[in-house]
Amino acid sequence: MSPLAFSVLRRLSDGEFHSGEAIARDLGVSRGSVWNALRSAEETGTRVFKVRGRGYCLPDGLDWLDRKQVLESAREHAEEFQIEIHDGVSSTSTLLLERGSCEPSGKVVAAELQTAGRGRRGRAWRCGLGEGVTFSLLWRFDQGPAFLAGLSLAVGVGLTRAFDELGADGTRLKWPNDVLHAGGKLAGTLIELQGEMQGPSAAVIGVGINVRLGGASRRSVDQPVADLAAAGAALSRSRVLGVVLAHLARVLRDFEKSGFEPFVEPWIARHAYQDSPVSLLLPDGGVLEGTARGVDRDGALLLQTRSGIRRLFGGEVSLRVRS
């Protein structure tokens, strides 16, 4: 969407009707420009009501991110983060990776709308305007990338703890980087690393969280999905981001000291498919079947097969549960 489209939508965020003439006058543009801006917003899935004689209305309003509220929700960890909120970007992680060497640890880039969010195996992360929280966090480590094995799993533990605090009970973890609720994907992470073999290194931690999905977003995803609202946490996006950052700060500080080992048991306790039959889709197209037996201190999935325990790492491996 264009910058003008975001400006127009902010005028409609109260859920009331506003005439195109009034909006155009306030923004110093033509009524035709307002109409075109709203049409571009509708193409992203945003619902806009139009009534002759009354104007335009967003029936559900819009919940915009507010930096002050995010920091208030992060509480004692607020000073650990430098938060930058954009209206629209292609990818928050791409933006941070491009600027990584110039940014401090704790830099957060969040977006109201992300148009080319990335998941594992080249998949896109789709979420409409105001329906989720998408952000990337840069965190620096003294150690090299090898030390960061299991980081995505530790981040998953942090997300489930945050969701507990927000009131979303019953979240579970799917190896290696998804958070589930009632069998649907609630959140996902993608971690990209930079740095020297012996250190230091930096991780760009991309996170997508479904807060309150609309019908169009649900229909655009080819797998079961969940959101915080349905899980019992109907909260503002700013509070969600702040609470999540607070829990990630604790997890990352602990990870700096001890790696993934302290998170092994907490991760297994949340494992959605612990001791269940699963199939692993391998990069070469093959399938490996067995029983999931948790993870080890390096974040590898332990798969019980007929020939014994196999250790598998994330990469391009994808897990599916067998009925």
Active site residues: 120, 185, 320
Instruction: At 189, list the tokens.
Output: 């992470």
What is d(CA 26, CA 48) in angstroms, rounded to the nearest whole number? 19
Residues 6 or more apart in contact with residue 79 via CB below 8 angstroms: none
Give the 3-state DSSP-derived string for the chain, with helices as H, strands as E and coil as C.
CCHHHHHHHHHCCCCCCECHHHHHHHHCCCHHHHHHHHHHHHHCCCCCEEECCCEEECCCCCCCCCHHHHHHHHHHHHHHCEEEEEEEECCHHHHHHHHHHHCCCCEEEEEEEECCEECHHHCEECCCCCCEEEEEEEEEECCCHHHHCCHHHHHHHHHHHHHHHHCCCCCEEECCCEEEECCEEEEEEEEEEEECCCCCEEEEEEEEEECCCCHHHHHCCCCCECCCCCCCCCCCHHHHHHHHHHHHHHHHHHHHHHCCHHHHHHHHHHECCCCCEEEEECCCCCEEEEEEEEECCCCCEEEEECCEEEEECCCCCEEEECC
Closest Cα to residue 280, out of 159, 175, 173? 175
CA of residue 145 relative to chain centroid, distance: 22
Closest Cα to residue 155, out of 122, 181, 130, 192? 192
> Kind of pairing, strands 49-51 and 107-114?
unpaired
